[in-house]
Structure 1
Amino acid sequence: MSTDVRNNKELDRFEIYVDDGLAGIAEYQDTAAERAFVHTEIYSRYGGQGYGRTLVHAALDASRDEGYGILPLCPMVHRFVETRPEYVALVPQWARERFGLPE
C-alpha cells in the first residue's frame, strides 16, 4: 500500500491517502506564528495500522518546515508530541506548561 500526506490548505487540514483513498485528516488553525492542531481522525477502515502516526509525523514536519510553532490541542497530536522530545521543541515555550510538556 502506498501512502501520501498532503496539506489541503483550502480546507486547513492535512490529509493522508492510502492507495489514493482518503484515510484520515488532521485539521488545523493557523495564527501568525503557530499552527494549532484541533482535530485528527483516521477513518475506521484504516484504523490500527499506524496511519495516524504517519499523518501526524508528516503534518508536524511540514509545519516546522513552514516556520510554524505547534499547539497540540488535539489529543492524538498531543500524545505524539509528548512521547517524542524532538517535537516538544516545536511547541512555543509559553505554551508548554499549558499542555503539560517539559519546559
Structure 2
Amino acid sequence: MADVKVTRNDDEARYELHVPDENGQETLAGFARFEEETGRVRFTGTEIDPAFRGQGLGDVLASEALADAAQRGDTIVPVCPFIASYLTKNEVAGAVVDWPGETPTDAATPGESSA
C-alpha cells in the first residue's frame, strides 16, 4: 500500500485514490465526492472500484481526504455514510466535524434544556 496515492481533484470535486497497476501506471481505484462552501466541505459519497474492494483502500481514502480537509481548516460535514462511519471510529488530527442533523437540542440529555 506504500504506492497508493490520494489526490484532490477540484475540477471533479473529489478526492481520488490511485493505485499502481502491473505496468506501474496509476489506476483510479476510488474516490470521495465533496461539495465545498466557504470554510466547509461536505463529503457526499465514496466509491471504491469493485476490483479493489476488501483491501482497506476505503479507509486509506477517507483518512487522507479528511486529513487534507482538516489541514485546510475546513469544517467537515460527513453526509456520506462511509465517511461518517470512519469518523466515528478514527481520530483525525485537527478535524472540526459538523454532524448533519445535529441541533443544539440534540446535545441535551433527556429532561435537560439546551439553552
TM-score, normalised to structure 1's length?
0.85
Partner secondary structure for residue 24 of structure 1: strand
Across the two proteins, how many residue pairs are aligned to each other? 98
Q: Deviations over 1:55-85 (max 9, x none)?
A: 0000000001111010000010000001124
Greater helix share, 1 or 2? 1
Listed as ranges, the gaps of 5+ residues in structure 1 are none
Listed as ranges, the gaps of 5+ residues in structure 2 are 21-25, 108-115
Q: Aligned to 1:64, which of 43, 47, 70?
A: 70
Counterpart amino acid of residue 13 in structure 1: R
Q: Aligned to 1:84, which of 80, 87, 90?
A: 90
Cα deviation, residue 52, structure 1 = 0.2
Matched, 1:43 2:40: no
Counterpart amino acid of residue 14 in structure 1: Y
TM-score, normalised to structure 2's length?
0.77
Residue aligning to 2:102: 98
Partner secondary structure for residue 63 of structure 1: helix
Structure with larger Rg? 2
Counterpart amino acid of residue 12 in structure 1: A
Change (3 A) 1:8 1:89: closer
Partner secondary structure for residue 97 of structure 2: coil
Over the aligned positions, Cα root-mean-square deviation in angstroms equals 2.2
Asked if structure 1 preserves the Cα contact closer than 8 Å seen for 2:33 and 2:43, the reply is yes
